[in-house]
Amino acid sequence: MTGSAGAVDVQSTLQRMRRRGGLPVAFGGLFSGARQFRISELTGTTTNSLRGLAITPGNGLGGKVLTMSRPISVADYPTSRAISHEYDAAVGAEGLRSMLAVPVVVRGRVRGVLYGALRQPLVLGDRALTAAVESARELERVLESELAQELAVREEAQRLLTEARQRRGQPPGPQWEPSAEETEVWEEVREAHGDLRALAHRVPDRELREEILTACSRLARASSGRGRHREHRNGGGGVELSPREVDVLACVASGATNSTAAERLGLRPETVKSYLRSSMRKLGAHTRLHAVVEARRAGLLP
């Protein structure tokens, strides 16, 4: 889901939460993978001590919310006995005392956490808690809508892939269909692949950036043989796309719109459209979903 709602949705949600709840500080984030949650968005803060902080389920206020899946507040974070204190240094550096946290839950799973805080040890009232819960519900609706879009993309990609196999006389028997467990694992691999490609272009060291992109390419080539070795050997492997064209297709494969892909990759929407058109032409694809399928067949995407 990291490429789905995006930083803009979380940031605007936090800003609304601050205004409605009278909260001077708000922060939070969404899961960037199936198992990792980091604080990615801040508003009203004076330092970056919380940015990028990885929250482990059960630890601290946010970790407790991840585990219990319900809103929790503390009147004085540093001295509270209701939570553990693994993140006291980061919280203290920002000078936060009273704090609340609410889960963002979509389809029964916690997808993220929103926090609100004061710099005084005061009991947070109903206004602040209500604003936080309402803001979380609004973000959940956005995520639900974009998750539905992502699932539709995956279903269409699977349909196109099945048609391609049938045209080659390869009936979609059990050998082609992954189990539910395999599907979950490979979707996580694909999500991590897209995240790594997006991260690579923010790395200033050229050699390190190239190493990350090379590792991504190896991952894509290795996974392209999963259950479809004959397809990979019989063609498709000769297609060459630029790194940015692959980046865009990786975002499209996750269900991202052009604007969301542009935000993730630090590009303009018009540039994303240009890369998408050129990659479709090289792959002989007529739609963006068809391009994703052909890129996977060619070993360019996992």
The reply to whether 89 falls in a domain is: yes
Rounded CA separation 226/87 (Å): 41
How does the average pLDDT of the chain come out, rounded? Answer: 81
The reply to whether 201 falls in a domain is: no
The reply to whether 233 falls in a domain is: no
- Could you tell me if 245 and 146 lie in one domain? no
Domain span at residue 77 reads: 10-152
pLDDT for 149 equals 62
- Could you tell me if 15 and 146 lie in one domain? yes
pLDDT for 175 equals 43
pLDDT, tens digit (0-9, with 9 covering 90-100), for 150-167: 666 666 666 666 666 676
The mean-pLDDT minimum among 175-179, 243-247, 249-253, 294-298 falls in 175-179
Rounded CA separation 259/140 (Å): 20
pTM confidence score: 0.56
Rounded CA separation 118/96 (Å): 6
HEC-encoded secondary structure of 221-258: HHHHCCCCHHHHHCCCCCCCCCHHHHHHHHHHHCCCCH
Q: Which of 97, 121, 152 is the last residue of a domain?
A: 152
pLDDT, tens digit (0-9, with 9 covering 90-100), for 173-223: 444 445 555 555 666 777 778 888 888 888 888 888 888 888 888 888 776
Residue 54 has pLDDT above 80, yes or no: yes
The reply to whether 18 falls in a domain is: yes
Q: Which of 135, 152, 169 is the last residue of a domain?
A: 152
Greater confidence, 301 or 21? 21
**Which residue type occupies 189?**
V
Sign of the dihedral defined by the CA atoms of residues 259, 262, 268, 274, in that order: negative
- Could you tell me if 248 and 126 lie in one domain? no
The reply to whether 101 falls in a domain is: yes
Q: Which of 113, 129, 152 is the last residue of a domain?
A: 152
pLDDT for 193 equals 82
**CATH code of the domain containing 135:** 3.30.450.40
The mean-pLDDT minimum among 7-16, 39-48, 60-69 falls in 7-16
pLDDT for 32 equals 65
pLDDT for 232 equals 38
- Could you tell me if 144 and 245 lie in one domain? no
Rounded CA separation 136/116 (Å): 12
Q: Say how many domains are in the chain.
A: 2
- Could you tell me if 18 and 143 lie in one domain? yes
Residue 5 has pLDDT above 90, yes or no: no
